[in-house]
Amino acid sequence: MKNLLLTGEPGVGKSTLLRKLLAGRKICGFITVKKEREPDGSFPVFIGPAAGGPQRLAARVNTGGGERFSDVFDNFGTELLRDLPNDAIAVMDELGFLEDSAERFKESVLSVLENGPHVIGVIKPRSTRFLDSVRAVPDTLIVHVDENSRNELFSELTNLLKEWDY
């Protein structure tokens, strides 16, 4: 298996499990971070390098859908997926619906999944054309995480990383 994607309902610990699995390993790629609710009720979502560094505002999410900044995904997000080292794990946390209109970013994600280094990421449990195409990439293992399985999965998935030689 070349790629590992965690999926499950919000708040079950997918990103926490991902961070535990990646601790002490060389990583590249991207993370998205939802910040505190703003006075208008929206949540700003930022994208940034998985290994740390400056983040950029990628969306403002609220109950009505919010505002998405496709150009941030297409420019900054695509840059975070360019020229990835083969001795690092590419992180994609998380793939969802915010990037629906970011065509270059989506192409970069699929290219890395198909041709790049090993990928560990998080994917929303919903069906969109993009997310379904991500799930269909050969050599991709989709693992469902819930509150009961997340601790057991850590040792199982750590063994997978050992097989990857990381």
Question: Dihedrals φ, ψ of 89, to 5°?
Answer: -90, 130
All domains of the chain, ordered by start, with CATH? 3-163 (3.40.50.300)
Q: What is the pLDDT of residue 37?
A: 87
Name every residue whose Cβ is closer than 8 Å to that of residue 126 and which is 6 or more positions away in sequence.
Answer: 96, 97
pLDDT tens, residue by residue, 74-90 = 999 999 999 999 999 99
Cβ atoms within 10 Å, residue 36 = 6
Q: What is the pLDDT of residue 165?
A: 79
What mean pLDDT is predicted for residues 124-151?
Answer: 95
- Across-strand partners of 68? 59
Q: Enter the pTM of the model.
A: 0.94
pLDDT of residue 40: 87
Rg (the chain; Cα; Å)? 15
The half-sphere exposure of 80 on its side-chain side, counting CA atoms within 13 A, is 30
**Contact between 31 and 91 (Cβ < 8 Å):** yes
Which pLDDT tens digit goes with each residue over 29-77?
Answer: 999 999 998 898 889 999 999 999 999 999 999 887 789 999 999 999 9
DSSP lists the bridge partners of residue 90 as 28, 119
